[in-house]
Chain A
Amino acid sequence: MGRVVVEVMPKPEILDPQGKAVVGALPRLGFTQFTGARQGKRFELEVDGEVTAEILADARKAAETLLSNPIIEDVVRVADASSETAEVPAR
């Protein structure tokens, strides 16, 4: 089974009220170094078999028609999940 990851973020020029609330809460926990936060969405689309170039193209089409609204959001990433590498090791 293959998996495609789609990431959607609010456009830079659109205010992100949820991100604003998050960045307001961080200092209360002592995290004073973070000066901004924006909140987006991550989708994981599953397919039978391999993630081919065609599957990725279809995933992008789905991302641009249903998973995001181009008025307020950008699709920032469409990728095969198996090619992802963990940047921060889990503890």
Chain B
Amino acid sequence: MSAGTLDTTLAEARIGVITFPGTLDDRDAARAVRLAGGEPVSLFHADGDLQGVDAVVLPGGFSYGDYLRAGAISRFAPAMDALVDAAKGGMPVLGICNGFQVLTEAHLLPGSMIKNEHLHFICREQVLSVENAGTAWTNRYEQGQHITIPLKNQDGQFVADEHTLDELEGEGRVAFRYVGWNPNGSRRDIAGITNAAGNVVGLMPHPEHAVEAGFGPDGPEGPRSGTDGLGFFTSVLASLVHA
């Protein structure tokens, strides 16, 4: 299946992108939404009104400088109170990198992220396998499909107790796994997970940086031609149409 732009019937879908103090990748996330055919809506952490958006992306960065714990302070923002309610009501939410950390701190997703095993900040093009192609954010991928998107973080080591890990595996809630190399020591090579309903997804790598030829990772078409991340955003538009 193609992960390309959907037709124009989806153009009305409004996808919010929340900016926290220290967020870095909100513009890139908004751009990814636009390239996929949706309408990005800028949301601010201090505003408890989600402006009636159909889905929300929590972008990457270092909100509050990663002080205390990555995502720990953002989790208590007014926008997050509204988001937690909306997510429990079934609204699609994607947390990328710091956004994933915020989702775990908000207990919308289990587990947590600690410092990379090797203690280094890492930035590379990372191969992932799509382990669950049934979520709101992955339905335009094939089950088991390998995708290449950038990875850049310092606190990227996914941890959870064995019981939680077994539960995630048993319920098909491991959404993405690292392929070839585990870049941060994450338990069971887990790169991203989903909630049971499949509307809330979090991952450490950055799909929004692989959405336009010329600016993405290296791909089969040549240097920087990779657009494997676009499928996240076309997936959510497709799930909104079928909702």
Contact = CB atoms under 8 A, between A and B. Distances in A.
Given A17-B117, A17-B157, A21-B119, A67 B112 contact: no
Interface in A20-79: 21, 66-67, 69, 71-72
B69 interface: yes
Contacts, number: 37
A66 B105 CA distance: 9
Contacts of B68: 66-67
B69 A14 contact: no
Given A69-B69, A69-B105, A72-B159, A18 B112 contact: no
Contacts of B116: 17
A13 B157 contact: no
Given A17-B116, A17-B117, A72-B114, A66 B159 contact: no
Contacts of A15: 114, 117, 159, 185
A14 B114 contact: yes
A30 B157 CA distance: 31
B161 interface: yes
A72 B112 contact: yes
Interface residues of A, number: 12
Nearest to A16: B114
A18 B117 CA distance: 9
Contacts of B117: 15, 17
B86 interface: no
B146 to A, nearest CB: 28
Which residue among B112, B114, B161, B185 has the maximum number of chain A CB atoms within 10 Å of its CB? Answer: B114
B104 interface: yes
Contact of A18 (B69, B73, B115): B115
Contacts of B111: 71
A69 B112 contact: yes
Which residue among A13, A66, A69, A72 has the maximum number of chain B CB atoms within 10 Å of its CB? Answer: A69
Given A14-B159, A66-B72, A66-B76, A71 B104 contact: yes
A69 B73 CA distance: 11
A71 B157 contact: no
Contacts of A21: 119
B123 interface: no
Contacts of A10: 114
Interface string B93-111: 0000000000011000011
B164 to A, nearest CB: 9
B160 interface: yes
Interface of B: 68-69, 72-73, 76, 104-105, 110-112, 114-119, 157, 159-161, 185
Interface of A: 10, 13-15, 17-18, 21, 66-67, 69, 71-72
19 contacts: A14-B159, A15-B117, A15-B159, A15-B185, A17-B114, A17-B116, A17-B118, A21-B119, A66-B73, A66-B76, A67-B68, A69-B69, A69-B72, A69-B112, A71-B111, A71-B112, A71-B159, A72-B114, A72-B159
